A and B are shown apart, each in its own frame.
Chain A
Amino acid sequence: MTALAVLLLADSRLPNGGHAHSGGVETTVAAGFLSTVDDLELFLRGRLCTTAPVLAGFAAVACLLDDDADWRRWDRALSARIPSAALRTASRLQGGALLRTVAGMWPVPAGLRQLGRPHQPLVLGAATSAGGGSALDAAGLAVHHLLGGACSAAIRLLGLDPLAVAAVQAAVGGPGAEIARQAVLAAEIAVTSDDPSALAAVSAPLTELLAAEHAQQEVTLFAS
């Protein structure tokens, strides 16, 4: 059953609010930095060495934390890693959406629910734990959604060949899995030492800049 629960969390058919977010692809396309499948691959590889370790680390932590942990503190630690208010909002909107869904599927820690709209990786990690998955599952799911959301947005916005995009997503899967493994090691240290500073904190400058630009656009198809 565990495997099915994790697959359920990986499935974009699960109502998680993700379909309306492009993971920065829309604004990167609009600014002229991304237009081909090759660009998309570079974009994904860039995400893997910047945002991915952060999201995966927090998802893994949330999977390892006790129900009565200080969820607010971990949530703040992730906020501190996201300078752009627009990106924090996007993360909280998706966290709230996923929480709404998983709260009806499995028991979710009360401390997390009390946050209202926690950051998405925390909800993902807590849901993974509630569904019986491991910290590595949680970290992998975080990386998977980061890559998958970007790929699907690129297909919709640029008309890229979905088969070529699938091949690219598969190609970056190896490095993505390695990021997830590293994130779990960091998460174990962070949880054991009760200190979020052990978690990756990378933020990519272009991502933050373009997120701010996206938020001030009159006309956008994606919420972020």
Chain B
Amino acid sequence: MKALAGLDVERGRTRWRDCAPIALRPTGPGRMHLVQAAGGPLGGDELRLDVRVGPGADLAVRSAAATVAQPGPGPEPASWQLSATVAAGADLDWRPEPTVVCAGADYRSHLRVDLDSTAWLVLREQVLLGRVGEPGGRYRGRLTVTVGGELLMDTETVLDGADPALSGPAGSGGFRVFGSLLVAGRDLPAVAERADRTPTLISAVLPLDGPGYLILALGRTSALVSAGLAAEADRVTTAAGIAARG
């Protein structure tokens, strides 16, 4: 299945174009929910969403349920592309539910966000390797972000629950759940690199080479990873608050 959906937000009005299986539902002012047909995407699907956030507009995107990537009839991967531009003074808050990559599935996502130098972005992703009790398939997620035309971040996370090298000591370290939270654009606090580790969760705040920071987490469960990302994000804001007051 191939689909190209669109979402265009200006201050005070939102227009969108659904394309099965991608559907969008307004759930509040400047807020949309992404609804995908259950049980997908499948290998061979090529889904794409183009987003434009106009000058000074705010857009928050959530999703109704986890995306569950499944193997398709052939060897082709399931692919998901997001291409977003965020104009001057605009905000994009992109925090969908996790993606579950089932055993045997091959899922690729490429999220590309081009920010004006006065725009702001928060983008969260979470990947679960397999449903409970299965090793999980292969995930390749590239995230490309530019700010004011300068490349800020261009990384590809490769996970594979069935590949001992990729789930080993130079991969995901045996953890089933990966999460990331990127904050980029205007008015960012100064961020110092830091990390925390317990037997069930590792998380870190990584200041990028430019206006942005990335919070990463690997953990045993989705709940741990969500909490880990949130805790690190809180620490950044608290530290910035203390610095601002001090």
Contacts and interface: CB of A to CB of B under 8 A. Distances in A.
A164 interface: no
A77 interface: yes
A43 B155 contact: no
B170 A50 contact: yes
A48 B165 contact: yes
B197 A28 contact: no
B189 interface: no
Interface string A74-115: 001101111111101000000000000000000000000000
B165 A80 contact: no
Contacts of B170: 24, 28, 42-47, 50-51, 204, 206-207
B171 A50 contact: yes
Interface string B141-178: 01010000011111111110001111011111101001
B142 A209 contact: no
A76 B203 CA distance: 25
A36 to B, nearest CB: 10
B240 interface: no
A220 interface: no
Contacts of B180: 205
A49 B165 contact: yes
B195 A210 contact: yes
A77 B193 contact: no
A34 interface: yes
Contacts of A62: none
B154 A201 contact: yes
Contacts of B166: 46, 49-50, 204
A46 B165 contact: yes
B158 A83 contact: no
A197 interface: yes
Contact of B150 (A42, A44, A76, A202): A76
A213 B197 contact: yes
Contacts of B193: 84-86, 212, 215-216
Given A205-B216, A212-B195, A213-B197, A80 B153 contact: yes
Given A83-B216, A201-B156, A46 B206 contact: no
Contacts of B194: 212, 216
A208 interface: yes
Given A206-B218, A209-B218, A81 B158 contact: no
Given A46-B168, A49-B158, A80-B154, A213 B173 contact: no
Contacts, number: 142
A203 interface: yes
Which of A24, A39, A42, A43 has the most C-beta atoms of chain B within 10 angstroms of its own C-beta? A42
Contact of A80 (B204, B205, B207, B209): B209
B236 interface: no
B208 interface: yes
A31 interface: yes
A60 interface: no
A208 B216 contact: yes
Interface of B: 142, 144, 150-159, 163-166, 168-173, 175, 178, 180, 193-195, 197, 202-210, 214, 216-218
Given A31-B197, A207-B170, 8 more contacts: A42-B169, A44-B170, A46-B165, A50-B166, A84-B193, A204-B172, A209-B204, A213-B202
11 contacts: A39-B168, A44-B170, A46-B168, A76-B151, A80-B208, A83-B153, A197-B154, A202-B155, A208-B204, A209-B204, A216-B195
